[in-house]
Structure 1
Amino acid sequence: MHSIRLISFGYLHLPTGPDHSPIPPAADRTEDVRDRLRDPAAARNILDLDGLNPRVQDIVLKTPGARELLTNLTDYANLPAGPHRIALGCAGGKHRSVDRTTEGRAGRERIPRLA
Protein backbone atom coordinates (compact mmCIF):
# COMPACT_ATOMS: atom_id res chain seq x y z
CA MET A 1 0.00 0.00 0.00
CA HIS A 2 1.42 3.39 -0.95
CA SER A 3 0.78 6.61 0.92
CA ILE A 4 -1.59 9.23 -0.41
CA ARG A 5 -1.36 12.93 0.30
CA LEU A 6 -4.78 14.52 0.81
CA ILE A 7 -4.82 18.23 0.04
CA SER A 8 -7.53 20.61 1.26
CA PHE A 9 -7.82 23.99 -0.43
CA GLY A 10 -10.16 26.90 -1.06
CA TYR A 11 -10.82 28.06 -4.62
CA LEU A 12 -11.23 31.62 -3.34
CA HIS A 13 -7.62 31.63 -2.11
CA LEU A 14 -5.84 30.16 -5.14
CA PRO A 15 -3.55 31.98 -7.53
CA THR A 16 -5.13 32.59 -10.92
CA GLY A 17 -3.92 32.01 -14.44
CA PRO A 18 -3.83 34.47 -17.33
CA ASP A 19 -7.54 33.86 -17.92
CA HIS A 20 -8.22 34.64 -14.21
CA SER A 21 -9.36 31.09 -13.48
CA PRO A 22 -8.06 29.53 -10.24
CA ILE A 23 -5.09 27.17 -10.43
CA PRO A 24 -5.70 24.22 -8.09
CA PRO A 25 -2.80 22.37 -6.44
CA ALA A 26 -1.13 19.61 -8.42
CA ALA A 27 -2.90 16.29 -7.81
CA ASP A 28 -3.73 13.03 -9.53
CA ARG A 29 -7.38 13.83 -8.90
CA THR A 30 -9.04 17.08 -7.88
CA GLU A 31 -12.58 17.16 -6.51
CA ASP A 32 -14.45 20.45 -6.53
CA VAL A 33 -17.04 19.98 -3.79
CA ARG A 34 -18.58 23.46 -4.12
CA ASP A 35 -21.43 22.15 -6.27
CA ARG A 36 -21.47 18.59 -4.92
CA LEU A 37 -21.85 19.26 -1.20
CA ARG A 38 -24.03 21.81 0.52
CA ASP A 39 -21.98 24.58 2.13
CA PRO A 40 -22.05 23.99 5.90
CA ALA A 41 -21.18 27.66 6.42
CA ALA A 42 -24.79 28.34 5.47
CA ALA A 43 -25.96 26.33 8.50
CA ARG A 44 -26.77 28.17 11.70
CA ASN A 45 -23.99 29.20 14.05
CA ILE A 46 -21.09 27.40 12.40
CA LEU A 47 -19.55 30.07 10.18
CA ASP A 48 -16.72 30.57 12.69
CA LEU A 49 -16.10 26.82 13.05
CA ASP A 50 -13.88 24.75 10.77
CA GLY A 51 -13.77 21.17 9.51
CA LEU A 52 -12.11 19.97 12.71
CA ASN A 53 -15.28 20.70 14.66
CA PRO A 54 -17.58 17.65 15.15
CA ARG A 55 -20.66 19.75 14.34
CA VAL A 56 -19.22 20.72 10.95
CA GLN A 57 -18.15 17.12 10.32
CA ASP A 58 -21.66 15.89 11.07
CA ILE A 59 -23.22 18.43 8.71
CA VAL A 60 -20.76 17.60 5.92
CA LEU A 61 -21.23 13.85 6.26
CA LYS A 62 -25.04 14.20 6.23
CA THR A 63 -24.95 16.23 3.02
CA PRO A 64 -26.56 14.31 0.16
CA GLY A 65 -23.79 12.81 -1.97
CA ALA A 66 -21.04 13.00 0.68
CA ARG A 67 -20.95 9.28 1.45
CA GLU A 68 -21.05 8.40 -2.24
CA LEU A 69 -18.13 10.75 -2.89
CA LEU A 70 -16.14 9.17 -0.06
CA THR A 71 -16.87 5.68 -1.34
CA ASN A 72 -15.78 6.70 -4.84
CA LEU A 73 -12.58 8.32 -3.53
CA THR A 74 -11.84 5.26 -1.39
CA ASP A 75 -12.22 2.96 -4.40
CA TYR A 76 -9.98 5.27 -6.42
CA ALA A 77 -7.36 5.39 -3.65
CA ASN A 78 -7.31 1.59 -3.48
CA LEU A 79 -6.54 1.04 -7.17
CA PRO A 80 -3.33 -0.98 -7.64
CA ALA A 81 -1.59 1.96 -9.33
CA GLY A 82 -3.52 4.40 -7.19
CA PRO A 83 -2.94 8.10 -6.78
CA HIS A 84 -0.23 9.84 -4.81
CA ARG A 85 -2.21 13.06 -4.29
CA ILE A 86 -5.92 13.80 -4.07
CA ALA A 87 -7.03 17.42 -3.73
CA LEU A 88 -10.42 18.47 -2.36
CA GLY A 89 -11.47 22.06 -2.86
CA CYS A 90 -14.38 24.09 -1.60
CA ALA A 91 -14.98 27.83 -1.67
CA GLY A 92 -12.89 28.91 1.30
CA GLY A 93 -11.16 25.67 2.28
CA LYS A 94 -12.49 25.87 5.83
CA HIS A 95 -15.44 23.49 6.07
CA ARG A 96 -16.18 20.87 3.40
CA SER A 97 -12.69 20.06 2.15
CA VAL A 98 -11.04 20.33 5.56
CA ASP A 99 -13.43 17.80 7.01
CA ARG A 100 -12.51 15.23 4.39
CA THR A 101 -8.76 15.59 4.83
CA THR A 102 -8.21 16.06 8.56
CA GLU A 103 -9.21 14.79 12.02
CA GLY A 104 -7.49 11.44 11.71
CA ARG A 105 -8.31 10.88 8.07
CA ALA A 106 -5.12 12.32 6.59
CA GLY A 107 -3.06 10.89 9.43
CA ARG A 108 -4.00 7.41 8.24
CA GLU A 109 -2.99 8.53 4.75
CA ARG A 110 -6.05 6.86 3.30
CA ILE A 111 -9.57 7.97 2.65
CA PRO A 112 -11.51 5.93 5.19
CA ARG A 113 -13.93 3.16 4.43
CA LEU A 114 -17.38 4.13 5.55
CA ALA A 115 -19.04 2.10 8.27
Structure 2
Amino acid sequence: MHPIRLTSFGYLHLPTGPDGSPVPPAADRIEDVRDRLRDPAAARDILDLDGLNPRVQDVVLSTYGARELLANLADYATLPAGPRRIAIGCAGGRHRVVDRTTEGHAGRVRIPRLV
Protein backbone atom coordinates (compact mmCIF):
# COMPACT_ATOMS: atom_id res chain seq x y z
CA MET A 1 0.00 0.00 0.00
CA HIS A 2 1.28 3.45 -0.83
CA PRO A 3 1.06 6.55 1.39
CA ILE A 4 -1.93 8.84 0.97
CA ARG A 5 -1.59 12.60 1.24
CA LEU A 6 -4.52 14.21 3.06
CA THR A 7 -5.11 17.91 2.53
CA SER A 8 -7.50 20.15 4.42
CA PHE A 9 -8.57 23.44 2.91
CA GLY A 10 -11.11 26.21 3.19
CA TYR A 11 -13.12 27.20 0.12
CA LEU A 12 -13.14 30.79 1.37
CA HIS A 13 -9.34 30.92 1.10
CA LEU A 14 -8.83 29.34 -2.33
CA PRO A 15 -7.68 31.13 -5.45
CA THR A 16 -10.41 31.54 -8.05
CA GLY A 17 -10.48 30.43 -11.65
CA PRO A 18 -11.40 32.55 -14.69
CA ASP A 19 -15.10 31.98 -13.99
CA GLY A 20 -14.73 33.18 -10.39
CA SER A 21 -15.24 29.76 -8.81
CA PRO A 22 -12.76 28.46 -6.20
CA VAL A 23 -9.98 26.18 -7.44
CA PRO A 24 -9.50 23.33 -4.94
CA PRO A 25 -6.15 21.58 -4.50
CA ALA A 26 -5.27 18.77 -6.88
CA ALA A 27 -6.49 15.42 -5.53
CA ASP A 28 -7.85 12.07 -6.64
CA ARG A 29 -10.93 12.81 -4.53
CA ILE A 30 -12.18 16.13 -3.22
CA GLU A 31 -14.73 15.99 -0.44
CA ASP A 32 -16.75 19.18 0.08
CA VAL A 33 -18.18 19.00 3.60
CA ARG A 34 -19.76 22.47 3.68
CA ASP A 35 -23.24 21.07 3.04
CA ARG A 36 -22.66 17.57 4.41
CA LEU A 37 -21.64 18.47 7.96
CA ARG A 38 -22.96 21.09 10.35
CA ASP A 39 -20.56 24.01 10.68
CA PRO A 40 -18.84 23.65 14.07
CA ALA A 41 -18.23 27.40 14.11
CA ALA A 42 -21.95 27.69 14.85
CA ALA A 43 -21.49 25.73 18.10
CA ARG A 44 -21.05 27.78 21.23
CA ASP A 45 -17.64 28.46 22.68
CA ILE A 46 -15.51 26.93 19.92
CA LEU A 47 -15.37 29.68 17.29
CA ASP A 48 -11.88 30.74 18.38
CA LEU A 49 -10.59 27.15 18.55
CA ASP A 50 -9.25 25.08 15.69
CA GLY A 51 -9.64 21.44 14.71
CA LEU A 52 -6.72 20.37 16.89
CA ASN A 53 -8.72 21.18 20.02
CA PRO A 54 -10.52 18.14 21.55
CA ARG A 55 -13.72 20.18 22.04
CA VAL A 56 -13.84 20.92 18.31
CA GLN A 57 -13.09 17.29 17.50
CA ASP A 58 -15.97 16.17 19.71
CA VAL A 59 -18.36 18.56 17.94
CA VAL A 60 -17.18 17.42 14.51
CA LEU A 61 -17.34 13.70 15.28
CA SER A 62 -20.80 14.02 16.83
CA THR A 63 -22.13 15.78 13.72
CA TYR A 64 -24.63 13.67 11.82
CA GLY A 65 -22.84 11.97 8.92
CA ALA A 66 -19.26 12.60 10.07
CA ARG A 67 -18.44 9.03 11.06
CA GLU A 68 -20.09 7.68 7.92
CA LEU A 69 -18.00 10.03 5.80
CA LEU A 70 -14.82 8.88 7.55
CA ALA A 71 -15.78 5.23 7.00
CA ASN A 72 -16.44 5.93 3.32
CA LEU A 73 -13.09 7.66 2.91
CA ALA A 74 -11.35 4.78 4.71
CA ASP A 75 -12.98 2.28 2.33
CA TYR A 76 -12.01 4.42 -0.64
CA ALA A 77 -8.41 4.61 0.56
CA THR A 78 -8.13 0.81 0.52
CA LEU A 79 -9.28 0.30 -3.09
CA PRO A 80 -6.77 -1.70 -5.13
CA ALA A 81 -5.94 1.26 -7.39
CA GLY A 82 -6.04 3.42 -4.28
CA PRO A 83 -5.88 7.19 -4.21
CA ARG A 84 -2.65 9.09 -3.67
CA ARG A 85 -4.28 12.37 -2.59
CA ILE A 86 -7.57 13.15 -0.83
CA ALA A 87 -8.60 16.75 -0.15
CA ILE A 88 -11.33 17.68 2.33
CA GLY A 89 -12.70 21.20 2.22
CA CYS A 90 -15.05 23.24 4.34
CA ALA A 91 -15.78 26.95 4.42
CA GLY A 92 -12.78 28.22 6.36
CA GLY A 93 -10.67 25.08 6.86
CA ARG A 94 -10.23 25.73 10.57
CA HIS A 95 -12.68 23.41 12.33
CA ARG A 96 -14.09 20.50 10.37
CA VAL A 97 -11.13 19.13 8.50
CA VAL A 98 -7.85 20.18 10.03
CA ASP A 99 -7.88 17.55 12.76
CA ARG A 100 -8.37 14.77 10.22
CA THR A 101 -5.43 15.76 8.07
CA THR A 102 -2.79 17.18 10.38
CA GLU A 103 0.36 15.09 10.60
CA GLY A 104 0.73 13.66 14.06
CA HIS A 105 -3.01 13.49 14.61
CA ALA A 106 -4.12 11.05 11.89
CA GLY A 107 -4.15 7.58 13.35
CA ARG A 108 -4.64 8.53 16.99
CA VAL A 109 -7.46 6.81 18.79
CA ARG A 110 -9.59 9.98 18.79
CA ILE A 111 -9.09 10.54 15.09
CA PRO A 112 -9.81 7.55 12.83
CA ARG A 113 -7.00 6.77 10.45
CA LEU A 114 -7.96 6.59 6.77
CA VAL A 115 -5.45 3.89 5.88
TM-score, length-scaled by structure 1: 0.90
Alignment-derived partner of residue 105 in structure 2? 104
Task: Kindly state the Cα deviation for residue 106 of structure 1 after the two structures are TM-superposed.
Answer: 7.0
Native 8 Å contact 2:107 2:113 kept in 1:
no
Alignment-derived partner of residue 47 in structure 2? 47
Q: C-alpha separation between the residues in 1 aligned to 2:94 and 2:3?
A: 24
5+ residue gaps, structure 2? none
The 4+ residue runs of structure 1 with deviation greater than 4 A are none
Alignment-derived partner of residue 62 in structure 2? 62
User: Between the two proteins, what is the percent identity of the paired residues?
Assistant: 78
TM-score, length-scaled by structure 2: 0.90
For residues 9-20 of structure 1, the aligned pairs below 5 Å read: 9-20=9-20
Task: Kindly state the Cα deviation for residue 99 of structure 1 after the two structures are TM-superposed.
Answer: 2.2
Q: Which has the higher helix share?
A: 1
5+ residue gaps, structure 1? none
Question: How many equivalent residue pairs?
Answer: 110
**Amino acid in the other structure paired with 2:85:** R
Native 8 Å contact 1:16 1:22 kept in 2:
yes
